Amino acid sequence: MKWYGTVLALALAAGGAQAADPTGTRRVAAGDGAALSDWDFRAGRLEAAGDLRLRLVREDELLPGRVHERLAQFYRGIPVWGGELVRQRSATATLSVFGTFYEGIELDVTPTLTAADAARSVAARGLTLPLDKQPELVVLPREAGYALAWRLRANTDPDAGFDARMIFLDARDGAVLLEYSDLKHQSAVGTGTGVLADSKKMSVLSGGGGFLTDDQLRPPRLRTFDMKGNLTRTLQFLNGQVALGQSDLAVDPDNVWSDGAVVDAHAYAGYTYDYLYKRFGRRGLDDQNGRILSLVHPVNRADIFGYSDSVVSTFYLNAFYYGDGIMVYGEGLPSNLTAGGQRFNYWSGALDVVSHELGHGVTDFTSALIYYGESGALNESFSDILAAGTEFFHQEAGSGPLKADWLLAEDTVTPGGIRSMQNPAAFGDPDHYSIRFTGAEDNNGVHINSSISNHAFYLAIEGGRNRVSGLSVTGVGSANRDLIERVFFRAYTALLAPSSDFSAARAATLQSARDLYGANSNAERAVREAWNAVGVQ
Amino acid sequence: MSRIGTSLLTAVALLAATPALAGEGRAWASGTFNPAKTETAENRTFTEFAEQGTLEVEYAFDGGPGGEIGVEYRLRSGLGLQLAASFGTRDGAASYTAAFPHPLYLNRDRAASGETSGLSLTETAIHFDLVYGKRGPKWEIVGFAGASFFNVEADILDRPQYTHAYPYDTVSVLAPVTLSRSGSKVGFNAGLAVDYRLSKSFGLGVQGRFSGATVELEATDEGTVELDAGGFAVGAGLRLYF
């Protein structure tokens, strides 16, 4: 009768062995029973064959008598990236085996590319390979199978934003198989409610028992400081008398952000960076991932009656780009106050406002259009163009809050905003060069005459008839807005000089259109018709 | 000790004890094959970057070989009781579609899909049946039905790991990782066996057994994989009469 039991045991043992021998990636979590016996046995066998090698042995700090052995996976003498089993042992037995083991590797482990070739390839990208971190040949598991690769950890230029890049180059042809940042940031993603009660994500820093508005996911140093209504400290910072540190960053205990001014300043700065990168391939204001610092709450709304008109105008009723990547967003007015019949909310609550201010940063680092007269109007216009482009890139076209349209600041200055690119005359701004502002006010009308270039940009995309000249323009259409955005961006950042005037802007945009899309292209035609319509020759 | 281990030991004990009972009976050992393909799908959700992602996986396990041993104790008038233990193995594959939340934007999932093979499924079961048989000098036909206790250990897909880089609009999924998961469930079985006696004590036989239960395997994220255990298995093997 014992015979029957033996048969049963053998049969079940055969079944267990079959189940424990699949191919492919195996994540091992064997804590007891047959799986532990199996993996303990396999680990021993693989160790004897050299496919697992003891990398580290550590005594358990919490349980005396326990030892943890780390067994790194190798394939024909080459380490398998990420392949490792961790075996917990007591004095008498194996207690657990955890880790990942890659099976089914079939590779020629002779590299075509030498280690020196791999190092040169990385150096050619401007990365620095630390002397103590030479290329290592590894087997890289990928979805498409396994690859023989050189693994390098190289540093970027600190001036462009320091990063340590982990790079895997194909050991046959040098192609980049995998690359990621190896700096161990404490990145966190939360959610926030903006000024207009909309939800958005917040890329922040985790630390100090809370979360801080320091974006760890985008390449530049993108930080938002909460000045907590301390105008003195704000001015001291702008005057270079104090530096802002981590304690000045906006903070939230649970990463569910509710200060709309903070949320929108932080998120929209990121949106603008994304638009510049995705639409134009530009890496931030200086194209080198330079810092982007946003300051919110420079004053308190409740303190408005204690300040001079100048302070109210600058820190309540305005937002401005200070220079060197610093934006300051005005506080707006208490809900019971209006100015010119309009209510003013937090200035960071409008995507086009944030993008407009950052646009000044781009201009500063490129054409540096002098902020006076026609060049100043072009400077302002470029920021408006960038603002409209960012809105249409991130928001649905339409009217009302959080919609992309041709109004400026309409989400924070209500009703109506402060300018219209579609119909400048609605705000008393010129829509034709012949009626441009020629007075001394507003630096010779930088915020007024910008509407001439703004309207040309609008007409080149949407088409239409100019109110003054009566000339009609066939635009490229809203579906092709990116064509005109690139034309103007390239012209205003790469071709214009600091003292350029409207005529130069016309010539530069036509040149840009020809360069990008060819002579007599649809884009060039639309741009020419648009400038003709607004009377700029 | 696991539930399946306890059950198997119980089965062994019962098998060993069976000859001590008065009356007739038989024992058998058969090789089996389950030709039916087992397919299942799962939808899993997970939280990443403050948003919910999804993973949809379809599994397909081919038919596979197995074995069975058992013992029958005859009561009277053709009625009897039998206890059997069976196992079977299958190879399988999985295809998945995943939606990974974007780290910077709400409602802008990054899609990924892929396939992986080399999955395995091992199924063990204990069957306790009521038997009715017609027995002649050489031929014997037996019908049976009863309860089954299944234990299934299968490879399921872990949430795919990926790499991404700014602007994070796409992901590069790394090699899919599988996790071994097990689950148990009580189900049913019914079948038919035909024996041919070669001698007083030995014979040959064929059988077919249909069994079934839906076993839940816990995934790493919020979700479970429901696998149909059992199916129709056919077998043939030795018979021992006492």
Same domain as A203, residue A327:
yes
Specify the long-range contacts of residues A459-464, CB closer than 8 Å, at least 24 apart. Answer: A459/A526, A459/A529, A459/A530, A459/A533, A459/A534, A460/A484, A460/A487, A460/A523, A460/A526, A460/A527, A460/A529, A460/A530, A461/A526, A462/A406, A462/A422, A463/A526, A464/A422
Let me know whether A273 and A344 are in one domain.
yes
Contact predicate A88/A67, CB 8 Å: yes
What's the pLDDT score for residue A19? 28
Beta-carbon neighbour count of residue A136 at 10 Å? 15
Structural domain count of chain A: 4
Sole residue written with tokens 């021992």 = B240
- Residue A357 known to be catalytic: yes
List C-alpha distances in Å: B124 to B8, B85, B190, B207, B208: 9, 7, 16, 18, 17
Looking at the structure, tell me whether residues A329 and A231 fall in a common domain.
Answer: yes
**Do A172 and A194 share a domain, yes or no?**
no
Residue A108 falls inside a structural domain = no
Taking the C-alpha atoms of A197, A200, A201 and A204 in order, what is their torsion angle to the nearest 10 degrees?
-50
Other residues' Cβ atoms within 10 Å of the Cβ of residue A12: 23
Residues of chain A with pLDDT under 50: 1-23
The residue of B82, B95, B166 whose CB has the most chain A CBs within 10 angstroms, and thus the best one to mutate to test that interface, is B166
For residue A393, is it within any domain?
Answer: yes
β-pair type (A145-155, A164-170): antiparallel
Same domain, A273 and A240: yes
Cβ distance of A12 and B124 shorter than 8 Å: yes
3-state class (DSSP) for residue B127: strand
Under an 8 A CB cutoff, do B69 and A2 touch?
A: no
- Mean pLDDT, chain A, rounded, equals 89
Please report whether residue A90 resides in a domain: yes
Chain A, 194 to 223: residues with Cβ < 8 Å from chain B are: 199-201, 203, 217-219
Low-confidence ranges of chain B (pLDDT < 70): 1-23, 221-222
Task: Look at the domain B3-241 and name its fold.
Answer: Porin (2.40.160)
Separation CA A209–CA A189 (nearest Å): 15
Is A162 a domain residue? Answer: yes
Containing structural domain, residue A37: 24-102
Give the distance from residue A112's alpha carbon to the nearest chain B alpha carbon, in angstroms. Answer: 24
Q: How far apart are CA B155 and CA A105, in angstroms?
A: 19
User: Which residues, at least 6 apart from B205, have a Cβ–Cβ distance to it below 8 Å?
Assistant: B28, B30, B140, B193, B194, B195, B196, B236, B237, B238, B239
What is the distance between the alpha carbons of residues A422 and A484, in angstroms, rounded to a whole number?
15
Is A355 found in the same domain as A417?
Answer: no
Q: Which residues of chain B make contact with A216, given a CB cutoff of 8 A?
A: none
Q: Given A18, A22, A189, which is nearest B155 (Cβ)?
A: A22
- Token pair in block for residue A513: 């259109």
Domain identity same for A344 and A378: no
* ipTM (interface pTM): 0.74
Q: How far apart are CA B212 and CA B127, in angstroms?
A: 11
**B5–A contact, CB cutoff 8 A:** yes
> What stretch of H or E contains A162?
none
Bridge partners (DSSP) of residue A200 are A192
Inside any domain, residue A109: no
Task: Please state whether A290 falls in left (phi above 0), alpha (psi between -120 and 50) or beta.
Answer: beta
Residues A274 and A338 in one domain: yes
Contact A313, A346 (CB under 8 A): no
Cross-chain residue pair A22–B173, CB shorter than 8 Å: no
State the Cα–Cα distance between residues A519 and B206, nearest whole angstrom. Answer: 84
For the domain that residue A128 is a member of, what is the CATH number?
3.10.450.40
Q: Please report, for chain B, the start and end positions of each structural domain, with discontinuous segments joined by +.
A: 3-241
Cross-chain CB nearest to B178 (options A5, A27, A255): A27
Cα separation, A239 vs A204, in Å, equals 27
Residue A529 annotated as catalytic:
no
In angstroms, the CA A85 to CA B240 distance is 46
Mutation site for B-interface testing, chosen from A2, A6, A12 by largest number of B Cβ within 10 Å: A12
The C-alpha atoms of residue A507 and residue A496 are separated, in whole angstroms, by 9
For residue A11, the distance in angstroms to the closest alpha carbon of chain B comes to 7
Q: Which of A447, A455, A462, A485 is catalytic?
A: A447
A184 in contact with chain B, both atoms CB, cutoff 8 A = no
Distance of alpha carbon A179 from the chain centroid: 17
C-alpha B185/C-alpha B150 separation (Å) is 5
Helix axes B3-17, A2-19, angle to 10 degrees: 150
The domain that contains A456 carries what CATH number? 1.10.390.10
A102 touches chain B (CB under 8 A): yes
Using alpha carbons, select from A138, A221, A229, A226 the residue that is nearest to residue A185.
A221
Q: What are phi and psi of A323, to 5 degrees?
A: 115, 160
Which pair of tokens denotes residue A388? 């409209």
What confidence score (pLDDT) does residue A397 get?
97
**CATH number for position A85:** 3.10.450
Residue A106 forms contact with B (CB below 8 Å): no
Are A15 and B167 inside 8 Å of each other by CB? no
Cis ω for the linkage preceding A415 (within 30 of 0): yes
Residue A14 lies in a domain: no
Q: How many CB pairs below 8 Å do chains A and B form together?
A: 137
Q: In this structure, what are the phi and psi dihedrals at residue A225, rounded to the nearest 5 degrees?
A: -100, 135
Residue A192 in contact with partner chain B when CB distance is under 8 A: no
Inter-residue contact A250 to A360 (CB < 8 Å): no
Query: Which B residues 200-239 touch A at CB under 8 Å?
Result: none
Select from A365, A396, A426 the last residue of a domain. A365
Residues A383 and A526 in one domain: yes
Give pTM, 2 decimals.
Answer: 0.73
Residue A473 located in a structural domain? yes
Contact B122 A18 (CB under 8 A): yes
The whole-number pLDDT of residue A55 equals 86
Cα–chain-centroid distance for residue B138?
Answer: 34
What is the residue whose two structure tokens read 């054409």? Answer: A367
The DSSP 8-state label assigned to residue A281 in this structure reads -
Query: Which of A148, A165, A181 is at the close of a domain?
Result: A181
Q: Are A430 and A453 in contact (CB under 8 A)?
A: no
Cβ A401 vs Cβ A345: under 8 Å: no
Distance CA A485, CA A382 (A): 10
Q: At what angle do helices A481-490 and A373-394 cross, to 10 degrees?
A: 150
State the smallest CA–CA distance between residue A186 and chain B in angstroms: 13
Q: Which CATH number covers residue A309?
A: 3.10.170.10
Final residue of a domain: which of A350, A365, A380? Answer: A365
Residue A240 located in a structural domain: yes
Give the sign of the dihedral formed by CA A316, CA A320, CA A322, CA A328. positive
Q: How far apart are CA B115 and CA B94, in angstroms?
A: 6
